[in-house]
Structure formats: C-alpha cells, structure tokens
Structure 1
Amino acid sequence: TFDYSSRQLSCEHGGRRVSRYELDGTVTVIADRFDGRPLNSPNDVVVHPDGSIWFTDPPFGIRGDYEGNQAERELKEAVYRVDGASGRIAMVTDEVNAPNGLCFSPDYSLLYVADTRDRDMKVWDVDGTQLRNGREFTTLELPTGGLSWADGIRCDTDGNIWCGARPGVHIVAPDGDTIGVIRLPEVCSNVCFGGAKRNRLFITGSQSLYSVYVGVSGAHIC
C-alpha cells in the first residue's frame, strides 16, 4: 500500500518486516520485532489518517520455504499498530488465529480483518489507538457449498468489503451479506482500487493480473 506521502509500504515474508520505500529510493524498516522478538511474517498493511500504520502478522512465511524462510514462531499471530510520530509498535489484538487482509471502513470507525484459519472475517470498533468489541463479521460461502476464505480485502465508499478469495472476488455489504461475486478461473489473492476516479478494481490471481471498472469507488488510498 501507499501512505499519505506517496511512499510505498511493503510486508515482507522473507525479511519478516514491514518496510517503507522512501521517495529517494532508500528503505526504512518500520517494524521487524515486538517485545524483542522477531515478527512472524507481516502479510498486509494499511494506513490511518493520523499517520499510524496497521498490519497483520500471521505465520504463513515461516511455515516453510515457499513464501518465506522456515523458522520457529516466537510471537502469537496478531494485528499491530505503529505510531506515526514515535514509531512505537503496539499489539492491538491477538484475537485472531491467522490474520490476513485488513481494511478500515470509510469513516475509519471499524477495522476488518480476514482470518484465514477460521475461514471468516472479523471486525472491531476503532477507539483511538485501540480496538474494542471484536466480533465475527461474515463468512464467505462457495457456490458449490462449504466455506472459502478471504485474503486481501478493501473497502469502497459505500462500506462494502471487496474480498480476494475463491472463486474470485466476493463483495460483502456492511451488514455481512454477500451481494456479488466476480468469478475468476483462479484463486484471487488481493484487490486494489485505482484509476482517476478510483473505480477501477485491480485483481491479483494465482498467475494473472486483472482489472475491471465497477460502479463504486475505493474508500481509501491503496
């Protein structure tokens, strides 16, 4: 994702860190440890207007050498917040088993987090620098039965959540009901709104990149 100064933020499974690419090409490490122990494998990251950086830290990158480097887990899976002024990292919740994609609601009052292991999506109320009242938001059902799981997620200006999953992109209304699916011939890993009016949805698949114009605009910078 990008911050409000147009700098790219990246989650690195191999490096087990969150990095920022400065405008001059240098790299700043935003977070790589918590309480003196290395992070697992940061997976997704979003920014808040107060300058803070929020990210998920599942174990996907340390379970083997496919996505990162196999290693022992030293921290429980969690969601973290990095203060924009001090750089202090704080755990905002560990009430999630495999935190994956995350996004804020349009007014930043809610934080949604995809839980891959539980095959659901959870939501919290944002209370300043903390999260309150964590609860299940929705599950994604496969057309053939059973449950899919969300990977990367983004919010539009109407408060709908666009979820990378199987068999494509699931669109979930603010009440948790699925209102549409963009079918793909492969698994969707992430989505992002772009274009001049932020109404062009970019979709990453297992082996392909797609784009489609949609009838809404993305809520936040991507």
Structure 2
Amino acid sequence: MAMVGDSYEYYDRRFYDLTVPIADIELLYDGCRWAEGPVWFADHGALVWSDIPNQRLLRWIEGQGVSVFRARTEFVNGNTRDRQGRLVSCEHGGRRVIRLEPDGSITTIADRHDGKRLNSPNDVVVKSDGSVWFTDPDYGILSDYEGYKSPREQAGNYVFRVDPETGETRIVADDFVKPNGLCFDAEEKRLYVADSGRSHDPDGPHHIRVFDVGDDGTLTGGRVFCEVDPGVPDGFRLDIHGNLWTSCQNGVICFAPDGTALGKIRFPSMVSNLTFGGPRRNRLFVTATNAVYAVFVATTGIQRP
C-alpha cells in the first residue's frame, strides 16, 4: 500500500490515473447532524444534500456558500433527479418516495406496497424509461433520530421498482438484510445495490451486489461485486470507466469494474454518501457525518440530469 499525505491510499497502480494526489480535500460545510443524499444540479451549479435529523435540505453554490433549500423535510435521506430535472427524494419520516414539482408542490410516488406502509425509503434512482427504483430498509423506524420509531408493516427490507405507466410498486429483490445505496451502470443493463446489514449486526453483510436488468424491469443474478471494509457501503456512484466509488467508514473506496479495490481517499469523519459534480463532473462531493467535502479527481462521473 502506498500513501500520499494523509488522504490517499493506493492499492493498485490504476488508482494513480483516477486521482489528483496534489488536490486537497476541501471542507464546504460542517453544520449538519447527519449529512446524506448529495445530488448535483448542473443547470444551477449547485449541490443539494440532506441533513436528516435537522429535517432540511441544504444547497451549496460555489462562491455563494450554503443556504436552506427546503425545510421540514420529514427526515429526507436519499435524493436524485429524474429525466425532467425534478428532485426525487426518500422520506424516512413520511415513509414514502416523493417528487418536488417545479411549482413547489409535492407528489407522492410510492408510500405503500400491498396496502401496507413502506418501512423508510432510503435511496433512489430513476431509469431513463421513467421507472423509479428505491431501497426500503428500516433505519427510519428504528428510532426517533432519523425518523419516527414505529412498528414495521412490510415483512422484510426490499428493493422496489415503481412502474412509470401504472404507478405500481413492485418488489424486485427480497433477499437483502438492509438494502441501501443503489446505482445503474451507464447502459442501465446492471443495477448495483448495497447491503449495509453489518450496521446493526457485526456478522451482517457489508457488500455491494450487482444484478442484470431485464427489459421488463426484472432483476436476475445478484452476485456479490465487492465487500467494503471497514464499515459498510452506504451511497456510491460509477464513473465513465465503470469504476465504482463507494462510502466506507473512514473514506471513499474505488473498485475497478472487475471488483478489485484500487485505492481509498480518506476523510476526517465517517462517510455516508457521494456524487460527482462540477462543470466537468470531475469533482467528488462527499457527505460525512456533520460535514460536506469536495475533492477533484482524474475521472468523471456518469452523466445524469
């Protein structure tokens, strides 16, 4: 293992081509309780993320600093944008997936399955066909810190797909302990899903699985793509070369398309999630406990609205 300063660990020479070792980690903001769900708004040059316990979404713009984007958010966690540029979010408190409309109104995308309330939707992605895919572990109903302590109504912790035409919410994967972050590859032929079960069980899973995506919206396969250690995988993104960048306890680990761990960028506090942004999508924005950081890298993230 090679080290550059205190921030970079190199396990494989390929990681040198993906990082800028002289690029400092920049602190953008440190006034959160639990920062999560970063999403880049390229059309506004803005980063938006969740401060879950404080029930707010914050926005950072280069040269302008941080402001409140939305307040009283019902413990919103993961965020993404659909192909129309609308913000899609997971509410722990409301136990639903919502969409923020241009006029400021809220549309509920999913809040029940088989007539029963969801657990606490965690992370979400929108496919190019308009289907909405989200994970539904129980983190938001375990305590009053990230939601409201409540009994579960679903029999398990599932991965769901919402049909863009009918609005039907369907289980696409039912064998996770605590499904968490998820991401499509560039061709949308594969779906990667994290299982962070070790967060509440030292013997629980701490890996990311990969599925083949059928034209009918079904998933097959589900092999373990990589294991994350220390900690658990939470949020992650892919770059244009197919490398997967994921949160871990003390940083961001990069895995090659074949699952080989290439290296790590260390951060001062526990990392929860990340996204690529900036005008060239070569800036990694990282949410970590009470703070949000940024660092330039030598690759670019997959293009999204």
TM-score of the aligned structures, taking structure 2 as reference length: 0.70
Instruction: Tell me the equivalent position of 1:135.
Output: 223
Asked if structure 1 preserves the Cα contact closer than 8 Å seen for 2:206 and 2:229, the reply is no
Cα separation, 1, equivalents of 2:213 and 2:86: 24
Q: What SS does the aligned partner of 1:122 have?
A: strand
Please point out which of 34, 38, 41 is paired with 2:113: 34
Counting matched residue pairs gives 217
Instruction: Tell me the equivalent position of 1:153.
Output: 236
| Greater CA drift, 49-58 or 82-91 | 82-91
| Greater CA drift, 79-88 or 54-63 | 79-88
Kindly provide the CA deviation profile for residues 61-87 of structure 1, in whole angstroms up to 9, marking residues without a partner as x: 011111111111121101001112221
Instruction: Tell me the equivalent position of 1:145.
Output: none
Q: Which runs of 4+ in 1 moved over 2 A?
A: none
- The aligned amino acid for 2:137 is P
- The aligned amino acid for 1:166 is Q
Kindly provide the CA deviation profile for residues 86-122 of structure 1, in whole angstroms up to 9, marking residues without a partner as x: 2111111112110000001121111111100111111
The sequence identity of aligned pairs, in percent, is 48
| Structure of higher CA gyration radius | 2
TM-score of the aligned structures, taking structure 1 as reference length: 0.95
Instruction: Tell me the equivalent position of 1:11.
Output: 90
- Give the deviation of 1:212 after TM superposition: 1.2
- The aligned amino acid for 2:226 is T
- The aligned amino acid for 1:130 is T
Q: What SS does the aligned partner of 2:304 have?
A: coil
Cα separation, 2, equivalents of 1:107 and 1:213: 25
Cα separation, 2, equivalents of 1:104 and 1:5: 18
- Give the deviation of 1:220 after TM superposition: 3.7
Aligned-residue Cα RMSD (Å) equals: 1.0
Q: What SS does the aligned partner of 2:121 have?
A: coil
Q: Do residues 108 (structure 1) and 196 (structure 2) align? A: no
Q: What SS does the aligned partner of 2:81 have?
A: coil
Q: What SS does the aligned partner of 2:98 have?
A: strand
**Unaligned 5+ runs, structure 2:** 1-79, 198-204
Answer 1 or 2: higher relative contact order, Cα 8 Å, separation at least 6: 2
Asked if structure 2 preserves the Cα contact closer than 8 Å seen for 1:155 and 1:220, the reply is no
Kindly provide the CA deviation profile for residues 22-56 of structure 1, in whole angstroms up to 9, marking residues without a partner as x: 01111000000000000000000011111111000
Cα separation, 2, equivalents of 1:157 and 1:51: 22
Cα separation, 1, equivalents of 2:126 and 2:244: 17
